[in-house]
Amino acid sequence: MEAAWHHRLSIGVVKFHRFSNFHLAKAVMALDPQNAADPADDHQPAADADTLVGRDCELSIIDGVLGRAGRGDAALLFVGDPGVGKSALLAAAAARAVRNRMRVLRCVGSVTETHLPYAGLHQALHPILGLADRLRPAQRAALGAAFGLTDDAVQSQFRVGLATLELITVYAAEAPVLMTVDDAHWLDRSTCDVLAFVARRLAHDPVALIAAGRDRDLADNPLTSIGIPLVRLGPLPEPDAVALVRQRVGNLPGDALRQLLTLAAGNPLALVELPKARHQRAADPAPHTVLPLTAHLERTFGDQVGDLPPATQAVLVAASLNDSGSVAESIAAAARVTGMDIGFIDLAPAEACGMVTVVDGRLSFRHPLVQSAIRQAQPAARRREFHAALAEVVAADPVRRIWHRADASEGTDDAMADELERLATRLLQRASPASGAAALERAARLSSDAAVRGRRLIAATHVRTASGAYEDASRLANESVGLLSDASIRSYLGLYRQLTEGDWLGTEVIATVTTASRRFQSAGATEAAMVALMVAATAAWWADASVDTCRPAVRAARSLPVPADDSGLILLLTMLAPGEQDAELLRTVRKQAGDDAGMTHELVRTSAVFSVLGALPEAFRRETDTMDLLRADGHLALLAQVLAGRAWNAQLLGRSGAAASAAAECKALVPGSGPVRTFQVARLAEAMLAARRGEVAEAESIAAEVEAVLLRAAAHPMLAMVQLVRGTAALAAGRFDAAYDHLIRIFDPSDIAHHSRMTPHAMVELTESAVLARRLDRVRELHQEWVAQADRSGSPHLVVNAAVTTALLATDPRAAYLVALGEITNEWPIHRAKALLAYGRWLRRGRRVTESRAALRNAQDLFDALDMPPWRDQAARELRASGEQSPRRPRVTSGRLTPQERQIAMLAAEGLTNAEIAEKLFVSVQTVRTHMYRIFPKLGITSRVDLATAISGDDYST
């Protein structure tokens, strides 16, 4: 029944959404490692492969990429229409690389292998798998499981990526490496994810990656979303087109040449192949006026195939449908279909005319359009016949057998659909989400019952969404909606893409998702109901929803059949109803602290609760354990979210080093085109650090860029964070009126930048600017609310805010300062430093000069340690005015390290080896080694044993 399948589906959705990626296990493709080529055999392309007509600019770009291998980001993506010359440029790149004494690895996507996880990756690494014994055991195991060489489970796709990166860098130890990736649009998704992972981490490794694919078919491909430079190939100008024809075809009569130039429209493949056509069909005297160029080329290739012997044609048909290049399989299938006695010799005519090449028993088509032409030319019944034959030939491989049997099915076939769904379950549990989604979708197509078909399409929708294939997910969601009877579930599915993709969710979604949650709960799917409410809570918090808007969601949360101390329920209530039960919820979650060691999702939730309730030091400490678990499990999408929150919280706590490291790692995991909240929060944390360092132009530049992104996304409440950056930068520059004007907007309900949940982050800065600008009236009114809110909620952040602002605004502040300094511990160093500075300033100006010096001296030292030069300088000026000299203390040495260098230095100081650091941070060992070479001279040390001492002076770096 519908309720029952909603329950089963919901459990799966929870598991997918909780970590936004999957535990991957071994790939379901058994490839024989005994066929591995010698790693030293680079198979150099033809000698003239790098002399291309009309592509001088592109060849120059290739030379630049090859030259940057090991010295910068050496990755490139060519895109363009079929036949425009992408493969020719990759061949030219390989030829140039070999000439430059580089090694070359290659992989080519195939339309028949898109559902086989890691098929493309195995093709690329197959020649060097013999070097895997140089990897750490965990990395060897990851590759072995991915390629079906062992029965071990792959812990995560990112471990496969790290193992791939390390294997390639091992291969590159003797000579730089170029990896070429052709027809990327047909690579299996698992391979694309790994290649994207590798491409983002090539800055310090002697490796270059050049990929190519069809522009229109690369939607949702990870290689297009990670910032790789993209070169779009257009048609050849007429002079170059003429030169190419004369070079490859010869001199043509003027009319024939003009007709060819018109028909080919500058497409190099068309310019070369169309003249080879032996005839045109009588029924299609002017095909170029009817067919698009690609279809015309396919027909041209199909005509050429029609001239071959029947046995040869049969083998080519089997090969065009086979998800392997095995000639033996294709011959066996052709023999079964035709009843002929077919052997390898029957491929000779196809080789002779250049349609295919056969090397070591594997067949390759001259161009993908040849394969497409052969496949499309066959009637549907004949294609099914060949798939049935192939299913028998590959019976020893259960996964391939199921796929060929499915393709051999006609109409609906419920038994086959059930088998595909079972396959999808195995793939999702152990291998590849993309392959699992494909199996679910195919199962849906074969299902006779509309409700079952809808269930399978929705399951495929969730898998596609969680794996980042958003366009496919949108297509499937639109199709499945019409098959459902429950309107609230349909509406929830409409939001699911936005939720998982990270698009901005406004308050308008709260009611819809709450209704869906109640429907899930009535169906017995409690966890799915909680996940739906988490969507509402996320939208409510970020969009600053009102109490009335959130009230139905709060009631729904309280009706969930879970214990009152459940961390998920506590997180819902803290986000949906801030202030109502904060003190009680904080006491509850503190009692639980320590009981969830090793439980990743519990750590994530309780860290979030501490953060929302203002217990930032406790959140900071728990985030450390949380990040380690997320890295170990490979839950990098969730890790990026935790890192963004940590970067923001760390800068509020004055932990500049930790904030910078977290922000840098977050941005490395999430492309700029990724989720609005995650990436932009990390950037704003960096902007706050710049503002506090007095780098005002840098802070304001980041703020302006982020503001433009937020306005485009209609993420207006996040503008409060932008205003906090601007206000802090203005304070650093001594522009106190401007600082006040920026910051007061956060507190004004009529302003687009208002955000009530962000006001605690700006209270001290607003009060500081109001005091210095002498604009106290509005702040005094607000301060009364802050004190009452702090007393009511018990939020540690609000309590220290109230202590500092009370002292700043007091008419007789001595007692208030002493109370504040008693309440503000070293866990809140910025608050303490600002209170000391204000207290010392008040004492000096009240002619208590001697008494003021201790407070000012402590403030100066704290601001020095916090890397806040503008405030340090204020304290130094006050101290000099008190009659005490204030020599500038050198900035802490670790402040000269980049965020990643600081992170590596801290891990090395803990005793981790380069290999262990690389695995923890998902970079190559070579990258760690390069950073260590830079860290030592920056810190003025020569040994790892000195690291701990060198960075220990920076109390707030970790």
d(CA 225, CA 214): 15
Tell me, yes or no, whether 169 and 245 share the same domain.
no
**Is pLDDT at 148 greater than 80 in this prediction?**
no
Residue 664: exposure state from Cβ atoms within 10 A (0-12, 13-18, ≥19)? buried
CA-closest candidate to residue 58, choices 100, 102, 88, 95:
88
Q: Which of 898 and 788 is assigned the larger pLDDT?
A: 788
Q: What angle do CA 348, 110, 361 make, to 5 degrees?
A: 35
Token pair of 641 as six digits: 């979210």
Length of the chain counted residue by residue: 958
pLDDT band at 288 (very low <50, low <70, confident <90, very high): very low
Does residue 214 sit within a domain?
yes
d(CA 612, CA 589): 12
Whether 842 and 882 have beta carbons less than 8 Å apart is answered as no
Report the pLDDT value the prediction gives residue 292, as an integer from 0 to 100: 59
Residue 390: exposure state from Cβ atoms within 10 A (0-12, 13-18, ≥19)? buried
CA-closest candidate to residue 198, choices 174, 219, 175, 177:
177
Tell me, yes or no, whether 224 and 244 share the same domain.
no
Among 768, 793, 818, give the residue marking a domain's end: 793
Among 468, 485, 502, give the residue marking a domain's end: 485
Tell me, yes or no, whether 783 and 739 share the same domain.
yes
Tell me, yes or no, whether 123 and 210 share the same domain.
yes
Q: Give 580's DSSP letter.
A: T
Query: Which amino acid makes up residue 828?
Result: W
Worst-scoring range by mean pLDDT, 590-604, 673-687, 928-942?
Answer: 590-604
Tell me, yes or no, whether 59 and 145 share the same domain.
yes
Rounded mean pLDDT of 938-947? 80
Tell me, yes or no, whether 134 and 49 share the same domain.
yes
pLDDT band at 671 (very low <50, low <70, confident <90, very high): low
Report the pLDDT value the prediction gives residue 873, as an integer from 0 to 100: 92
Strand partners, 362: 326, 359
Tell me, yes or no, whether 838 and 919 share the same domain.
no
Tell me, yes or no, whether 95 and 198 share the same domain.
yes
Kindly state the helix (H) or strand (E) to which residue 281 belongs, with its residue range: none
**CATH label of the domain that carries residue 923:** 1.10.10.10
Tell me, yes or no, whether 865 and 750 share the same domain.
no
Count of alpha carbons within 13 angstroms of residue 245, beta-carbon side: 27
d(CA 4, CA 734): 64
Give Cα separations from 833 to 493, 732, 817 (angstroms): 49, 15, 12
Token pair of 552 as six digits: 């139905």
Worst-scoring range by mean pLDDT, 498-507, 674-683, 830-839?
Answer: 498-507
pLDDT band at 466 (very low <50, low <70, confident <90, very high): low
Report the pLDDT value the prediction gives residue 474, as an integer from 0 to 100: 65
DSSP labels, 101-163:
T-EEEEEE--GGGTTSTTHHHHHHHGGGGGGGGGS-HHHHHHHHHHTTSSSPPPS-HHHHHHH
Rounded mean pLDDT of 625-645? 78
Rounded mean pLDDT of 797-823? 89
Rounded mean pLDDT of 707-732? 92
d(CA 106, CA 291): 33
pTM above the 0.75 mark? no
Tell me, yes or no, whether 698 and 733 share the same domain.
yes
Residue 850, number of CB atoms within 10 A of its CB: 12
**Is pLDDT at 160 greater than 60 in this prediction?**
yes
Rounded mean pLDDT of 51-73? 88
Tell me, yes or no, whether 114 and 41 share the same domain.
yes
| pLDDT tens, position by position, 899-933 | 778 878 888 887 888 888 887 777 888 888 888 88
> What domain range includes position 180?
21-232
Report the pLDDT value the prediction gives residue 674, as an integer from 0 to 100: 53
Q: Which of 516 and 290 is assigned the larger pLDDT?
A: 516
| pLDDT tens, position by position, 524-552 | 767 768 877 888 888 888 888 898 999 99
d(CA 814, CA 843): 8
**CATH label of the domain that carries residue 189:** 3.40.50.300
d(CA 757, CA 575): 9
Strand partners, 365: 356
**Is pLDDT at 565 greater than 90 in this prediction?**
no
Give Cα separations from 27 to 123, 223, 396, 473, 801 (angstroms): 14, 21, 16, 23, 54
Report the pLDDT value the prediction gives residue 481, as an integer from 0 to 100: 60
Among 890, 915, 935, give the residue marking a domain's end: 890
d(CA 811, CA 794): 25
Q: What angle do CA 848, 849, 853 make, to 5 degrees?
A: 115
**Is pLDDT at 264 greater than 90 in this prediction?**
no
Does residue 345 sit within a domain?
no
Rounded mean pLDDT of 508-528? 77
Residue 741, number of CB atoms within 10 A of its CB: 17
Does residue 800 sit within a domain?
no
**Is pLDDT at 284 greater than 60 in this prediction?**
no
Report the pLDDT value the prediction gives residue 29, as an integer from 0 to 100: 23
Does residue 643 sit within a domain?
no
Does residue 586 sit within a domain?
no
d(CA 257, CA 260): 5
Report the pLDDT value the prediction gives residue 387, as an integer from 0 to 100: 94
CA-closest candidate to residue 160, choices 186, 191, 114, 120:
191
417 three-state secondary structure: helix
Does residue 538 sit within a domain?
yes
253 three-state secondary structure: coil
Report how many domains make up the chain: 7
| pLDDT tens, position by position, 734-745 | 999 999 999 999
Tokens 């029609």 locate to 306
**Is pLDDT at 32 greater than 60 in this prediction?**
no
Strand ranges across the sheet with 177-182: 103-108, 177-182, 207-213, 75-79, 230-232
| pLDDT tens, position by position, 321-356 | 998 889 999 999 999 999 999 999 999 998 888 888
d(CA 734, CA 731): 5
Give Cα separations from 750 to 704, 708, 746, 755 (angstroms): 21, 20, 10, 10
Does residue 94 sit within a domain?
yes
Query: Which amino acid makes up residue 622?
Result: R
Give me the chain's average pLDDT, please: 81
Report the pLDDT value the prediction gives residue 289, as an integer from 0 to 100: 39
Q: Helices in 249-367 by DSSP H: which ranges? A: 254-264, 268-273, 293-306, 310-321, 327-338, 348-352
Worst-scoring range by mean pLDDT, 442-451, 652-661, 815-824, 913-922?
Answer: 913-922
Does residue 368 sit within a domain?
no
CA-closest candidate to residue 198, choices 214, 222, 218:
222
Query: Which amino acid makes up residue 628?
Result: D
Tell me, yes or no, whether 929 and 877 share the same domain.
no
